[in-house]
Amino acid sequence: MSLVKVKRAKMYALLVVPGFLALMMFWERQDPPEAHLKSARAALDSAAAKGALRYAEEGYREAERTMKNGWMEMAHQKGRVAIFRDYKVADSLLSVAVSKANSAGQQAFGKKRDLETQALSEIANLRSELSNWREALDGSLMNFRAENYWSTAELGLQVSDRLIREGEYLAAMEAIADSKDSLRQLSHLLAEYSNDEARQLSHWRTWVQETVAWSRSTGGYAVIVDKSAHKAYLIKGGKQFHQYECEVGYNSARQKAFAGDGATPEGKYHVVNAHNGSKYYRALMLDYPNAADRRRFQENKSKGIISRHARIGKYIEIHGGGGRNEDWTDGCVALTNQEMDHLMRYATAGTPVTIVRRTDNWP
């Protein structure tokens, strides 16, 4: 080799080797940010565990997208020639993903806590409303539709209580809302019922007044039954002679419409038979159905209010076997056996018996 070539080789080595060594040193510093990728995944898992997918989904999805972009950038850099790899962008994206995931987790935790507080407050209010409605219904005649609304709301309370225990606050709030909707329907139903009572009260008042007037003019005995008060009044000469606690049909918040509906009829009747062989001790048989009952029954059939196959029913009595503290009969009026003995000393065949749902001027 000539002296010139040797000199050129030495010069080349002096120029290239240091540059190569510098590049090698730079390459060694560019390690893939695997730790940051792991941290981003862990932050997303933590956020999900805190409920971010449900309560802070937008923030969670943004963190997830940022992590994926960082991951893809890291993969892109791995595919380049080693000396040209640069993980700065990937590293930055993964760091941002960690921050966004942590923020989503904090947001979800705060929202869950607020929802828990709200749900606990709402369920306490619902429980109080149900208790108040239960007290009101227990103090009134049995109304199947009202009871169904209350039962539906009470079931919703049980479901929402379980969901709160499971941390499902949004679902619990939905169940509470459904329960409150049932109570609103209950309120509307009872408002309609009260309006119907108000419209019919004048009829019931007239029946009572006519019965009292007959007793006063004849000096005879008569019976007035107030279904809502669960009282039966024995009157003589227009004045109260005795008062009995009574129980009525299991569906008596209505006028009797057909056989088997569980309602005690409302109207002016007479005792047609007094006998001691009743299924429930002793009994006073009433002349149900009377002309008004038959007319109403046919009208309801023609209007489609009741089935054309329905029967009007019969065998309505004032009988013994009472004292159960609940409305349970198929439509009769029940007294205790002892009170039945007392009533039958005075009430016999022909005694007027007036039954009203409510009366505001007697006794």
pLDDT tens by residue, 9-20: 555 555 555 554
Model pLDDT, residue 32: 87
Residues 143, 137: Cα–Cα separation, whole Å: 8
Closest CA to 284 of 358, 186, 359, 350: 350
Model pLDDT, residue 142: 80
Q: Of 233 and 305, which is predicted with more confidence?
A: 233
Band (27; pLDDT cuts 50, 70, 90): very low
* Pairing assessment for the beta strands 333-334 and 317-319 based on DSSP bridges: parallel
Tell me the pLDDT of the chain averaged across its residues. Answer: 91
67: pLDDT strictly greater than 60: yes
Of 120-134, 151-165, 204-218, 300-314, the range with the lowest mean pLDDT is 300-314
Per-residue buried b or exposed e for 40-58, using 16+ beta carbons within 10 Å of the residue's own CB: bbebbeebbebbbbebbee
- Find the mean pLDDT for residues 137-143: 83
Using left for φ > 0, alpha for ψ between -120 and 50, and beta otherwise, residue 315 falls in: left
Amino acid 7 reads: K
Closest CA to 316 of 362, 358, 255: 255
77 CA to centre of own chain: 59
Per-residue buried b or exposed e for 102-138, using 16+ beta carbons within 10 Å of the residue's own CB: bbbbebbbebbeebeeebeebbeebeebbeebeeebe
Query: 293-319, pLDDT tens digit by residue?
Result: 999 999 999 999 899 899 998 999 999
144: pLDDT strictly greater than 80: yes
The long-range contacts involving 237-240, CB below 8 angstroms and separated by at least 24 positions, are 238/212, 238/213, 240/363
Model pLDDT, residue 95: 94
Kindly give, in sequence order, each residue whose CB lies less than 8 Å from that of residue 24, ignoring residues fewer than 6 positions away.
Answer: 83
- Find the mean pLDDT for residues 259-281: 94
143: pLDDT strictly greater than 50: yes
The residue ranges of every structural domain in the chain are 31-112, 201-356
Neighbours of 75 (CB within 10 A): 11
Look up residue 143 and give its two tokens: 């109304």
Band (128; pLDDT cuts 50, 70, 90): very high
Amino acid 68 reads: K
Of 29-33, 61-65, 218-222, the range with the lowest mean pLDDT is 29-33
Model pLDDT, residue 26: 47
Neighbours of 157 (CB within 10 A): 17
Residues 135, 194: Cα–Cα separation, whole Å: 17
Instruction: Read off the DSSP letter of residue 247.
Output: B
Percent with pLDDT over 90 in the chain: 79
Kindly give, in sequence order, each residue whose CB lies less than 8 Å from that of residue 290, ignoring residues fewer than 6 positions away.
Answer: 267, 268, 269
Query: 158-167, pLDDT tens digit by residue?
Result: 999 999 999 8
Closest CA to 340 of 353, 359, 323: 323
Q: The CATH number of 201-356 is which of 3.40.50.2000, 2.40.440.10, 2.60.40.10, 1.20.120.1200?
A: 2.40.440.10
Q: Per DSSP, what are the bridge partners of residue 233?
A: 224, 243
Query: 242-263, pLDDT tens digit by residue?
Result: 999 999 999 999 999 999 999 9
Model pLDDT, residue 12: 56
Residues 245, 145: Cα–Cα separation, whole Å: 26
Residue in this structure with the two tokens 């002349």, named with its chain if needed = 287
